[in-house]
Structure 1
Amino acid sequence: MSAMSSNNWSRRSLFRAAAGMAAAGTLAACGSNNGRGGGSGSGKNLVQYFHAYGEAGTEQAIKKYAKAYTKANVTTQWITGDNFEQKLFAALLTDNAPDLFEFHPQIQLVKSGQVADLTDIISPVKDDFNQADIASHTVDGKIYGVRMIDDPQFFFYRPSLFEKAKVKVPTTLEELIEAGEKLTTSKVKGLFLGNDLTPLERPLIWAAGADTLNEKNEIAYHTDAVVDGLKQLRKVFTSGNLLLGAPADWWDPSAITQGLCAIQWCGMWAMPVMQKALGDDIGIFPFPKVGSAGKPSVYNGGWSMFVNAKGKNVDAAKEFVKWLWIDQKEYQEDWSTSYGFHIPPRTSLAASATKLKTGLPAEGVKLFTDYGHFDNIGWTQAMIAAWDDVMANVVRKNGDPEAALDACDKKVNAELKKLFG
């Protein structure tokens, strides 16, 4: 799951998650963050940028993989704080730009010549990747970026609290709002949807039977059902049943594990921490349908590895990406399932990952398969920021949804014209 356009991280945008992956559980015990002291290789020096994942052990794992590579010295900049995107994009403009970096597929990176074409290294194993991941990284038949993990997001809930309040698992947005009301007590809020509600933007659009953009790269989100969904979220926001200003944001499971809420929007990465804290008293359900034409939705965030096409060592960086994210299946599975649960983008690994075969993780995989939506490479950071404004103006400030969407349309259309003519 996370992000682009310099103001975006400060606004804690969805992307931070789309990103999705950020912090689940205790923060990793970080060693030195200077990124020096990488691989045991000879020859080229390569630098890779990662955002600071929340799951313990992740930094050590990424550095361990790099150290095992013998054809180059690979050092890792482990970027802490909420401004990974700002630091990454600032660095890409300098002589100290990383050779490779993790991010999400966004077409402006391709159009500006920032990311290298990786078709040659991915093509031989293309059929072993989730085809939706291949599609979300493809422009004009060329593949840019290798998906490392898929990160489905959904609602987590406490079955014991549902039983006590005689609440059934919601299948519509109205039912979710009712559940939030019935589950709210003097000590526990019914719902936690993130401190600024931005993670719900795309799930809401899809659950209303709409989309961000259509196949012709035209606006597809401005529908009556989406307007109705925004009005309903405004109702939730003012109901008193919503946890606001939680100690950590939606991507961290602490709101539900500490008993602050009965239902929390979060990602599959946080399952191990929740299970450790709550045992069997945790369940999941997708974003429920909005309106009669809607259907449940799950956002599949995740992170991908890109090669800086403007870097000094493009071929060496591509060789390392191929070695780690295409050839080293053991490391790929370790990365997906040892530090939090993520779905491996490689279908062979997803099929063999034992930790995802039973219980709650298996339910998560099923929701991912049945209701999942992936990144659209044409939905850029500027568009995400425009939708953040809709959420702020309508849900948090009681603005008119049509007026807010009209303003959003202007910004999105200007961006589409710039990108697609």
Structure 2
Amino acid sequence: MGSLSRRTLLAAGAGSLTACGSNTGRGGGSSGPRLSHWYHQYGEAGTERAVQRYAAAFGKAHVTVQWRPGNYDQQTAAALLTDSGPDVFEVNGPTLDQIQGGQVADLTGLLAGVRDDFNPAVLAPKTHDGRVWAIPQVIDTQLLYYRKSLLADAGVEPPTTLDALVDAARALTDSRTKGLFLGNDGGAGVLGGTPLYAAGLRLVTDDGEVGFDDPEAARTLGKLHRLYADKSLLLGAPADWSDPSAFLQGLTAMQWSGLWALPRVTEELGDDFGVLPFPRDGGHGRPSVPVGAYGAAVSTRSAHRAVAEEYVKWLWVEHTDYQQDFALSYGFHIPARRSLAEKAARLRKGPAADVVRFTTDHGYAQPLLWTPAAQTAYQDALSRIIRHGASPEGELRSVVRKVSAELARVRNAGKPKKTS
């Protein structure tokens, strides 16, 4: 969803969900100071009532839940600069600017003794300089759905390499059905960095440099244009990639979508489907699984910061029953803690278990240093490569220059200014 949903967040990698309403809920019987807790507007029925129920059970403060429609990230960023903002807030990041600007509290101590139990792929983008700035809540991920019967009829094996995916999509395309659906834009919006990770590359290296300044990147992205040129891609579907309708209606034999679609696909197709990570490419490649997670952060402007941090620990570290409930009772997500994911009954068999394994073994999240400016430069180039057959080498040279400059700007922003 991006600022409105975990689905858009992943598509940025990465539309939005329907509204749940906009109410507030306060811990009725609680004593102590008053805290405000902001959430973005979820689409799953029951989610808002659930977080109100959690807040009401916290005995050390009156916690008011605010369900925030609209551009949540923009609202939050502005509110953090004032004294009227939230004490606790849900966040995609936080952003490096918020961390370096001292707007969010260091929550590293809240994970003492359990840090290793949190999925490292979603904890990484909430970590800077070894410190944790938000506590992940649940994991959302994307995956490749394929129709077993259609592949069997065409004599096609489930693809485990990018070349095999291109060949399979071509073989599965006929007058009624396209081989693959990556979104109505051909995949540029949703895939993001996923093909680069499948090639054994990264968006940003550990030392903050461009992670795809490599000839392998151009070779991999060029293969995505082959899908478009072969006319194997479904384009102009009634609903975009986040909705499994095209897959369920037989408009496509394979579709890239999200974990949230799995219950509906299971209900309508039974066992006539399977799931896969994005297939590896090249000699150093590996399967690639994009993941994202909203987290809980604490504003440093909170008048009751210590209690706010205690509340976050109580809710997202200690109360494993609430964490399980939030992940699986209102939608379909993976708990951020690996021990909870392993024992959740709904995640222990069939495609759901496969997704948990894929996420554990091959999950990656957008790095903290990957800014909107870097994302826009890369995604625009990817669109030109896929849809227009632009030179991958030329496009990537331009992107590498732009992203290098952006990464240098971000790194330098965090350094203290020299005084004369």
Cross-structure match for 2:147: 158
Q: Is 1:176 matched with 2:165?
A: yes
How far has the Cα of 1:142 moved from its partner? 1.7
Cross-structure match for 1:149: 138
**Whole-Å Cα distance in 2 between the matches of residues 20 and 46 of structure 1?**
32
How far has the Cα of 1:337 moved from its partner? 2.0
Cross-structure match for 2:341: 350
Cross-structure match for 1:338: 329
Aligned counterpart in structure 2 of residue 73 of structure 1, from 55, 62, 66: 62
> Cα–Cα, structure 1 residues 171 and 97, in superposed 2: closer, same or farther, change >3 Å?
same
> Cα–Cα, structure 1 residues 14 and 236, in superposed 2: closer, same or farther, change >3 Å?
farther
Q: Is 1:45 matched with 2:39?
A: no
Cross-structure match for 1:271: 262
Does the 8 Å contact 1:19/1:302 carry over to 2?
A: no
How far has the Cα of 1:217 moved from its partner? 1.2
What letter matches 1:169 in structure 2?
A: P
**Whole-Å Cα distance in 2 between the matches of residues 100 and 149 of structure 1?**
17
Cross-structure match for 1:259: 250
Aligned counterpart in structure 2 of residue 230 of structure 1, from 196, 221, 228: 221
Aligned counterpart in structure 1 of residue 77 of structure 2, from 89, 94, 99: 89
After superposition, give the CA deviation of every residue in 1:77-102 in whole Å (9 maximum; x if it has no partner).
Answer: 33446x43334334444554232222
**Whole-Å Cα distance in 2 between the matches of residues 243 and 59 of structure 1?**
36
Cross-structure match for 1:366: 357
Q: How does 1:341-420 map to 2 (within 5 A)?
A: 341-420=332-411
Aligned counterpart in structure 2 of residue 204 of structure 1, from 165, 189, 195: 195
> Cα–Cα, structure 1 residues 254 and 73, in superposed 2: closer, same or farther, change >3 Å?
farther
**Whole-Å Cα distance in 2 between the matches of residues 292 and 357 of structure 1?**
32
**Whole-Å Cα distance in 1 between the matches of residues 193 and 13 of structure 2?**
13
> Cα–Cα, structure 1 residues 185 and 334, in superposed 2: closer, same or farther, change >3 Å?
same
Cross-structure match for 1:15: 9
**Whole-Å Cα distance in 2 between the matches of residues 350 and 48 of structure 1?**
25
**How many matched pairs?**
408
Q: Is 1:100 matched with 2:88?
A: yes
Question: What is the TM-score normalised by the length of structure 1?
Answer: 0.87
How far has the Cα of 1:156 moved from its partner? 0.9
Aligned counterpart in structure 2 of residue 119 of structure 1, from 72, 92, 108: 108
Q: Is 1:167 matched with 2:156?
A: yes
Does the 8 Å contact 2:39/2:67 carry over to 1?
A: yes
Cross-structure match for 2:295: 304
What letter matches 1:206 in structure 2?
A: Y
Does the 8 Å contact 1:20/1:267 carry over to 2?
A: no
> Cα–Cα, structure 1 residues 123 and 84, in superposed 2: closer, same or farther, change >3 Å?
same
Does the 8 Å contact 2:7/2:258 carry over to 1?
A: no
Q: Is 1:318 matched with 2:309?
A: yes
Q: Is 1:329 matched with 2:320?
A: yes
How far has the Cα of 1:19 moved from its partner? 8.1
What letter matches 1:2 in structure 2?
A: G
Identity of aligned residues (%): 42
Does the 8 Å contact 1:20/1:301 carry over to 2?
A: no
How far has the Cα of 1:256 moved from its partner? 1.9
How far has the Cα of 1:379 moved from its partner? 2.2
After superposition, give the CA deviation of every residue in 1:111-142 in whole Å (9 maximum; x if it has no partner).
Answer: 12222111122224323323444444322232
Which protein has the larger Cα radius of gyration, Structure 1 or Structure 2? Answer: 2
After superposition, give the CA deviation of every residue in 1:19-77 in whole Å (9 maximum; x if it has no partner).
Answer: 87964xxx46x2x41x3233223443333333333433323322322233333333333
Does the 8 Å contact 1:18/1:301 carry over to 2?
A: no
**Whole-Å Cα distance in 1 between the matches of residues 336 and 284 of structure 2?**
30
Unaligned runs of 5+ in 1: 4-8
Does the 8 Å contact 1:250/1:264 carry over to 2?
A: yes
**Whole-Å Cα distance in 2 between the matches of residues 108 and 405 of structure 1?**
26
> Cα–Cα, structure 1 residues 18 and 317, in superposed 2: closer, same or farther, change >3 Å?
farther
Question: What is the TM-score normalised by the length of structure 2?
Answer: 0.87
> Cα–Cα, structure 1 residues 400 and 180, in superposed 2: closer, same or farther, change >3 Å?
same
Cross-structure match for 2:98: 109
Indicate the SS of the match to 1:247.
Answer: coil
Q: Which moved more, 1:328-337 or 1:118-127?
A: 118-127
**Whole-Å Cα distance in 1 between the matches of residues 241 and 310 of structure 2?**
36
Q: Is 1:191 matched with 2:174?
A: no
How far has the Cα of 1:207 moved from its partner? 0.7
Does the 8 Å contact 1:13/1:385 carry over to 2?
A: no
Does the 8 Å contact 1:20/1:302 carry over to 2?
A: no
**Whole-Å Cα distance in 1 between the matches of residues 125 and 15 of structure 2?**
18
Indicate the SS of the match to 1:74.
Answer: strand
What letter matches 1:70 in structure 2?
A: G
Cross-structure match for 2:415: none
Unaligned runs of 5+ in 2: 413-420
Q: What is the root-mean-square deviation of aligned Cα atoms in Å? A: 2.7
After superposition, give the CA deviation of every residue in 1:246-269 in whole Å (9 maximum; x if it has no partner).
Answer: 333322333323333221112223
Does the 8 Å contact 1:19/1:303 carry over to 2?
A: no
How far has the Cα of 1:178 moved from its partner? 2.0
What letter matches 1:88 in structure 2?
A: T
Does the 8 Å contact 2:8/2:16 carry over to 1?
A: no
Does the 8 Å contact 1:17/1:301 carry over to 2?
A: no
Indicate the SS of the match to 1:363.
Answer: helix
> Cα–Cα, structure 1 residues 22 and 345, in superposed 2: closer, same or farther, change >3 Å?
farther
